[in-house]
A and B are shown apart, each in its own frame.
Chain A
Amino acid sequence: MEALKIVDPSLLGLTSEQYSSLGPYLWVVGGSLLAMIFAVVPFIPARISVVCIAIASLIGAVVSAAHQITADRTDLFAGMMVSDGYSAFFNILFLATAALSILASVRYLEKQKLEYPEYYVLMLFSTFGMMLMASTLDLISIFIALEIMSLSAYVLVGFRRNDRRSNEAAMKYFILGAAASAILLYGTALLYGSTGSFLITDILARVTTKPELMTPAYHLGGWLVIVGFLFKVAAVPFHMWMPDVYEGAPTPITGFMTTGIKAASFAAFVRVFISLGYGKDIEAAIGGRLHDVLWVIALITMFFGNVIALTQTNLKRMLAYSSIANTGYLLVGMIAAPHSEAGYAPILMYLATYTVMNLGAFSILSVLSGKGDTNLNLHDLSGLARRHPWLSFAFAVFLFSMAGIPPTAGFASKYYLFYSAIQAGEIWLVVLAVLCSVIGVYYYLRVIVYMYMRENEGLEKFAVPALAAFSIAMMVAMTLQIGILPSKMIAVTKKVVAKL
């Protein structure tokens, strides 16, 4: 028997294009390593140096990711990773999420007496995992990226160690997250066993050319992978971890998770979803049943999230349920994508606007919260508009946007999403989705009623930290900008999904 040629010489080094397309990742990893060193350097206060390093590395990464949006696709590491417009779009989204969450965290941690540099280091690691989720193309690397992202998040959720709710949330998240990872991993193993490849593009190509490969084991693997992702995006009935985790986590981390982790899970989900053959001509994977199952899951997710959110008086919990409802809208987009003209672009648009408005809302909650995450009940906001007119205005803009009222970003992206679903012929689903979002209007506007129309009996006047004020103002501007002139954003999202 002849010896195999194992070492592929082209894999022994990187070309200069490959190096430059790895730029954003190197910035973030480099930043986190440097932050770890500076956390223990004497004479320089770690809480200042680590924040500065984290922000600087995130900005560097955004700059190096920005030119990749229009650049050509670069394959890395034998096709295991790719740098294209899609990954660049999501990278910028995650980097901005991390930077804005850090700005909201600085004073929050000071207030909670939690100023420890590990917080920022873990946030950078989690961001790195998210970026890889959007750019890796093989199932092993997707799994490891998911673990890097989640492992850091488990610790961040439990960062308020002296708070029982935070401990419980971390434990719950860890155990259920591990179960979800196990399901995903089992599905991966079955897909590999039945097709012989880990690369998601390869799997699609192989089952397209050789349909006999779609054995029952392949179908089971595909379903398990889908269930694993539905767990991560918290679709009903796999949502039970979410409200407690979001309530127990430190407030800026809740914002970071509802936007970053959700967007990252969807980024990987979309890639895997496409590779399972949904909407292709081949009678692939799970065939028409995937459509029906997702249809039902999307509907109960929207309905359940909105109805339970109605009864919540704690703002963090309310936004957690609203985040479940938003997962439902995004699933509507997934169902419709292959059959509509815009494809997956509305999902990207929705994720981007959701990130902006939700991060804004959570930055405001971080400013409001007292020691031990108190002061986050609805009645604490009574009459807030009289003492903090600008803060209330910003919060009102975010809430209007989440309710989907023009001229905010939430309206534009929801319109775009539902429009593409109508194009795909999902009339009933859109009707029900719109009804669900009308339920949502009630609890979003209730907060505004409390802020503007109630007696002056809520929180005392407090100082709004400058960093948080800066990031909130930026997000208000973006919410209104995308709402009034959505066409630029739509053009970008269309372009990046074109070559998916």
Chain B
Amino acid sequence: MDISPVGFYLFAGVAIACSLLVVFKKSPVSSAFSLILVFAAFAGIYANLAAHLVAALQVLVYAGAIMVLFIFVIMLLSADEPSFDMGRSHPLVKALVGFFCVALFVMFVWALKKSDHGQVLVGPYSVAAVAASGGNSKVVSQLMFTRYILPFELTSILLLAGIVGAIALAKRNLGKEGK
């Protein structure tokens, strides 16, 4: 699979820069907006890989629906100012954290550079084969409802558990006075 290096480095650079902004920005709203850019950059990478359906879903679901919810929550809670003082961490702790981050990064770069990518097995779903079998959307949906039906159904149960959990946490007067 060929991927244009210009597109990849452009989108990957944007994604990394915006991820750093998500972490370092003090205000939650600007963090959330940086996250939108991260998702958009991911969508660019997927499109570059000819996975157009995934790219579109990434924009619709993540950059669209989920981020809107994020921002609504931030604004409704008016979480723009911190409700408590985090305190400052010790410089030694900061240095250690920085060291571990750099070490992890170096390790990843080393491992991926050293790996012989010629060995990676090529699956049946090449761009041409997918195009011949009816395009991305058709192939993905056929796979999702046959080969990958188990993770698909489990995800719906996961979401249901999440909803029940959210209700349990958000219900009013839980535990305040006995009924």
A residues lining the B interface (CB < 8 Å)? 1-4, 6-8, 11-12, 29, 36, 76-78, 80-81, 112-116, 118-119, 121-122, 125-126, 128-129, 132, 136, 138, 140-141, 144-145, 147-148, 151-152, 154-155, 158-162, 193-196, 206, 210, 212-213, 215-220
CB-defined contacts of B154 to chain A, threshold 8 Å: 132, 141, 144-145, 148
- B168 near A194 with CB under 8 A, answer no
- A144 near B114 with CB under 8 A, answer no
- A162 near B151 with CB under 8 A, answer no
- Residue from A8, A151, A212 in contact with B162 in the complex, judged by beta carbons closer than 8 Å: A151
28 contacts between A and B (CB under 8 A): A1-B129, A1-B132, A3-B129, A4-B133, A12-B146, A29-B157, A81-B150, A113-B175, A114-B175, A118-B164, A118-B167, A118-B171, A125-B160, A125-B161, A136-B150, A140-B151, A141-B154, A147-B158, A152-B164, A158-B169, A161-B169, A194-B119, A196-B121, A196-B122, A216-B111, A217-B111, A217-B112, A220-B111
CB-defined contacts of A7 to chain B, threshold 8 Å: 142, 146
Residue of A nearest to B127 (CB): A1
Report the separation of the CA atoms of residues A118 and B122 in the bound assembly, to the nearest whole angstrom: 46
Minimum C-beta distance from B124 to chain A (A): 6
- B174 near A220 with CB under 8 A, answer no
CB-defined contacts of A151 to chain B, threshold 8 Å: 158, 161-162, 165
- Residue from A3, A4, A148 in contact with B125 in the complex, judged by beta carbons closer than 8 Å: A4
Report the separation of the CA atoms of residues A128 and B179 in the bound assembly, to the nearest whole angstrom: 30
Contact with A along B141-179 (1 / 0, CB 8 A): 011001111110011011011101101110100111111
* Residue from B114, B149, B151, B177 with most neighbouring chain A CB atoms (10 Å): B151
Report the separation of the CA atoms of residues A159 and B170 in the bound assembly, to the nearest whole angstrom: 11
Given contacts A7-B142, A77-B149, A144-B154, contact A212 B178 (CB under 8 A): no
- A11 near B125 with CB under 8 A, answer no
CB-defined contacts of A121 to chain B, threshold 8 Å: 164
Report the separation of the CA atoms of residues A362 and B174 in the bound assembly, to the nearest whole angstrom: 24
Report the separation of the CA atoms of residues A127 and B179 in the bound assembly, to the nearest whole angstrom: 28
Report the separation of the CA atoms of residues A355 and B119 in the bound assembly, to the nearest whole angstrom: 45
| Residues of B87-121 contacting chain A, CB below 8 A | 107-108, 110-112, 114-116, 119-121
Minimum C-beta distance from A75 to chain B (A): 12
- B128 near A148 with CB under 8 A, answer no
Report the separation of the CA atoms of residues A129 and B162 in the bound assembly, to the nearest whole angstrom: 13
CB-defined contacts of B167 to chain A, threshold 8 Å: 118
Minimum C-beta distance from B117 to chain A (A): 8
- B119 near A215 with CB under 8 A, answer yes
* Residue from A125, A129, A160, A218 with most neighbouring chain B CB atoms (10 Å): A125
Residue of A nearest to B134 (CB): A3
- B115 near A155 with CB under 8 A, answer no
* Residue from A29, A144, A158, A219 with most neighbouring chain B CB atoms (10 Å): A144
- B139 near A6 with CB under 8 A, answer yes
Q: A6-B139, A116-B171, A140-B148 are in contact. List 5 more A-B contacts (CB 8 A).
A: A3-B134, A141-B151, A155-B164, A162-B175, A193-B120
* Residue from B119, B121, B162, B167 with most neighbouring chain A CB atoms (10 Å): B119
- Residue from A4, A136, A144, A160 in contact with B124 in the complex, judged by beta carbons closer than 8 Å: A4
Given contacts A122-B164, A216-B115, contact A155 B169 (CB under 8 A): yes
